[in-house]
Amino acid sequence: MAADPRSIAHHRHGRALLARRRFAEAATELAAAIALSPNVTDVLADLADALLELRQVEQAQTCVARALALTPDHAASLVQLARLHLATQRVGEARSVLDAVLARTPDDPIALTYLGDARTEQGEIDAAAACFERATTIEPGFAKAHVYLGLARRAQGRVREAAACFERAIALHPDYASARANRAHALLLLGDYAEGWKEHEWRWQANKAPGAPTPGGMRLWDGSDFAGKTIVLYGEQGAGDTIQFVRYVASIAARMPQANVVLVCQMALRRLLAGIPGVRRLMTEAEAAAPFGIQGDVHWPLMSLPFVFGTTLSTIPAQMPYLRAEPALQEKWRARLPADGRLKVGLAWAGNPLHQDDRNRSLPLANLAPLLDCPGVRFIGLQTGPRAAEIAACGLAPAITDLSADLVDYAETAAAVSQLDLVISVDTSVAHLAGALARPTWTLLPFAPDWRWLLEREDCPWYPTMRLFRQSPSRQWAPVVARVREALAAAAQNDRA
């Protein structure tokens, strides 16, 4: 049966909207086409495409199932099936489907792009980059392939090339939020803060963060003088981000000493941030979410404050320490961790497993074993959560004092850290905390680090007491740990001298 002419018109309009990345409108048009002609495979595949871009996975799955029931070898529907597998972490199944599509149509740029995505998930960065590069050569107007190639180039350490890839995608679609947010990360990694912070504001549209809250009756602060008014500040991502950017409260207090600053933070940070200078009221996220919980005139996310203040590498607020442990808790931990002539070194080896790059930034505790026979050093486990169990699982309890049961929040961790001579940590909140407390901190970074750590340098302008130990292009931790072991032995020797 021929498709309804009205369905054909909706389909054409929907495809045009897909090409312009207007996915919600495209989904509406394509759904209208299907309502008029329910059994057109191409329309079902296109609607699945739009729904997947909107992250409506279950609805997309229904469309794909219907399309493949009609036409089992339909290439576009098979690509959408592979995307569904990727969305549900069935990477091997995705690769099998894409290999079959590409065996029939080896120059399909969309299939190549998602094959590259699958290879990225399996850690095959160079092979993934080859897929993306081929896709962009075949179809230079496929913006998503340029973004994926940019992500691969960044993972390869070719950050300037990554930025150029994102710029090509933006040239095709100026409002491509993911391209702009990723360009921001590349620029910040390169130290281009002037342009990087501006682009960083695209993260909301790109869904790189949960979404900019818009408390009732308040508007976004524009950096203007709000003396006598209430400014609501809030964290948007992890505790480490809140710790890093809460330093800007002092900048607001210096600019507008009469402003009323309300700070919303994660529950685990409440005790640590209580009494921070410049904050008139501290609330947890749960308290702020309650009816009538937040009242104020303007609001602003903490990670946008560098943009408001026009922060450059030379103007990062770095008055240290800007966080302090409670005196009573310090006394408690001084008694718990008395001096015994050895260097007291805290260890944290894993971050939040939900972090999108956790597989690269965290490492097994067993990888740190070469440190543990360093003479003159006492090791203290600062790791919390399930990964703290690795101390016992690896048989390292005699070598590492496990504090995990007592580190119930960041106030306790801060007090424990205040009694240590050094903290050695991967890129996680413990590193930020130790840096904010101005304690000597050695941070272990993957080859492709988060944007805040910049490139190549061993120091950190955000935390003057921090030293950075980076992976080489081999992406192996063993050489990093060997360098840390050498530096630690020297520090212990100097401490005994």
What's the pLDDT at 326?
96
Q: Are the beta carbons of 411 and 272 closer than 8 angstroms?
A: yes
18, 54 contact by CB (below 8 A)? no
- Taking 70 as the pLDDT cut, the residues of the chain under it are 1-2, 207-217, 290-294, 496-497
* CA–CA dist 380, 402 (Å, integer): 6
Query: What is the predicted pLDDT for the residue at 67?
Result: 96
Tokens at 314, concatenated: 């030379």
pTM of the model: 0.92
Nearest in space to 425 (alpha carbons), one of 412, 416, 415, 435: 435
**Alpha-carbon distances, residue 350 vs 148, 357, 389, 464, 482 (angstroms):** 27, 11, 12, 23, 19
Among residues 291, 223, 294, 271, the alpha carbon closest in space to that of 410 is found at: 271
pLDDT of residue 209: 43
What CATH class is the domain 327-496?
Answer: alpha beta
Paired with 466 in beta bridges are: 441
C-alpha dist (Å) from residue 263 to 247, 278, 281: 12, 10, 6
Write the class of the CATH domain 5-203.
Answer: mainly alpha
Residue 253: predicted pLDDT: 87
How far is residue 33's CA from residue 37's CA, in Å, rounded to a whole number?
Answer: 6
- CATH superfamily for domain 219-308: Glycogen Phosphorylase B; (3.40.50.2000)
H/E stretch holding 125 reads helix 125-138
Cβ 128 vs Cβ 156: under 8 Å: no
For 239, other C-beta atoms within 10 Å of its C-beta total: 22
Judge whether 107 and 136 are in contact, CB under 8 Å: no
Domains 5-203 and 219-308 share a fold: no
- pLDDT at 211 (0 to 100): 43
Q: Give the span between the Cα atoms of 165 and 160, in whole angstroms.
A: 9
pLDDT of residue 305: 95
The single residue listed with the structure tokens 């960041």 is 410
Q: How far is CA 198 from the centre of its chain?
A: 18
Q: What burial class does residue 316 get, using C-beta atoms within 10 Å of its C-beta: 0-12 exposed, 13-18 middle, 19+ buried? A: middle
Dihedrals φ, ψ of 288, to 5°?
-70, -30
pLDDT reported for residue 299: 86
Model pLDDT, residue 162 = 98
Q: Which of 206, 217, 356, 238 is nearest to 303 (CA)?
A: 238
Domain borders along the chain are 5-203, 219-308, 327-496
Distance CA 279, CA 281 (A): 6
CA distances from 467 to 222, 346, 392, 444 (A): 35, 15, 29, 9
pLDDT of residue 208: 42
pLDDT of residue 258: 85
Terminal Cα distance for the chain, rounded:
90
